[in-house]
Amino acid sequence: MAEVKHGREYVYSIQYHIVWCVKYRHKVLLGDIDKKLKEILNQIATDNGFTISEIESDCDHVHLLIDCNPQHSIPNIIKALKGVSARLLFKEFPQLKKKLWGGNLWNPSYFVATVSEHTEAQIRQYIQNQKVR
């Protein structure tokens, strides 16, 4: 269960399930690219003061369970995760640009849902099972 944290004037437990897809649903999140993506996303989270407690991808999309504080906004979290990861992956794996014309790795849309203590276990299991099919 998510830890209840304390801020200066508030107590909180905020978790989100976030999903986004590769542009055109191209199946490029494989092998070294998939491994590097997870490293990059975890570093972005650390740099921006939130935590990724679960992460998994399945060839053409990414699922995250994040813990954050009330100062974090979803659009800023998404912008950081998608923008920085795309730039760094294109830099390290230039072959991605050939598959994804137009210079965009990610589809511009995303899914986000709040996670409660009642749904956290199911969402964790769902994310962990993304590659198990």
* pLDDT tens-digit profile, the chain (133 residues): 678 888 888 898 999 999 999 999 999 999 999 999 999 999 999 999 999 999 999 999 999 999 999 999 999 999 999 999 999 999 999 999 888 877 899 999 999 999 988 899 999 999 999 976 5
**pTM value?**
0.92
> Does the annotation count 16 as an active-site position?
no
Out of 10, 12, 16, 126, the active site residue is 126
Mind listing the domains of the chain with CATH numbers? 5-130 (3.30.70.1290)
Question: How far apart are the C-alpha atoms of 131 and 103, rounded to whole Å?
Answer: 26
Strand order from edge to edge, sheet including 14-21: 51-57, 61-68, 14-21, 111-114
pLDDT value of position 126: 93
Place of tokens 């598959």: 99
pLDDT value of position 26: 94
